[in-house]
Amino acid sequence: MYTSGGETCSVECYPKENYVIKQFKPRKPKYGWEVEPLRQTLDLCVQREIICLERLQNEKGFPKILDYNEKEKWIKMTWVGLPFTHFALTEREKYVEQVDPLIDSLEKHNIQVAYDFHIQWSKVIDKNGKSVRKTGYCKSMMMVKEYELSLIDFERAWPLGCEQEAIFNDTFKDSFALHDNNEFRRALKNTIRETIIEEPQQDYEIE
């Protein structure tokens, strides 16, 4: 077993048993907000993740829900691999080939995934003085089992048409103002090709 964490969760991973438990919780006090405005509330984070995973339950390349408790804010789902940024193998085009089918599945089920930072801090200036958008979430959403690629983390995704979207705040909605799945495909493929593997800062006990 090993653990990992994110903005609003801690995750216990059990590779041998093929499952993980994602526990949603407030951010540490040093960050100020318990939940950043983009995510709005922990309840919405949990609900968005559950809705997305239920829609994707029969699609390849996404975790499958095994159990959840919305009140206690945890989801048990299948383990889909190790972080791409540490464990991607050398033949990157084998991962690139899987990008279009993955995003096709998201489109099929009306799910928009946040692949870049919020517009107000996503613009950066390149070396030629040109304004470009920085795609910030692609690395963290990718998991790999050898050459099998999966996408995770849907707490920041927008399951279009869900009943909760009536209470999504403007900050969340504005973050999807320039959403474009063609740009998502390009960004994800480029991230796969260009990512330099980093040494993990923790032990991943998978045996």
Determine the Cα angle at 50 with ends 48 and 56, to 5°: 105
* pLDDT tens for each residue of 114-170: 887 544 434 444 455 554 444 456 788 999 999 999 999 999 999 999 999 999 999
The Cα–Cα gap between 190 and 93 comes to: 10
**Domain 2-194, CATH class in plain words:** mainly alpha
The Cα–Cα gap between 206 and 89 comes to: 17
Residue 36 neighbours by CB distance under 10 Å: 15
For residues 33-46, give the mean pLDDT. Answer: 83
pLDDT on residue 120: 41
Please tell me the number of Cα atoms within 13 Å of 197 on its side-chain side.
12
Contact, 103 vs 115, CB < 8 A?
no
* pLDDT tens for each residue of 5-34: 877 889 999 999 999 999 999 866 666 666
pLDDT on residue 33: 64
Taking the domains of the chain in order of start, what are their residue ranges?
2-194
The Cα–Cα gap between 75 and 9 comes to: 11
Close Cβ partners of 181 (under 8 Å, ≥ 6 residues apart): 103, 106, 107, 112
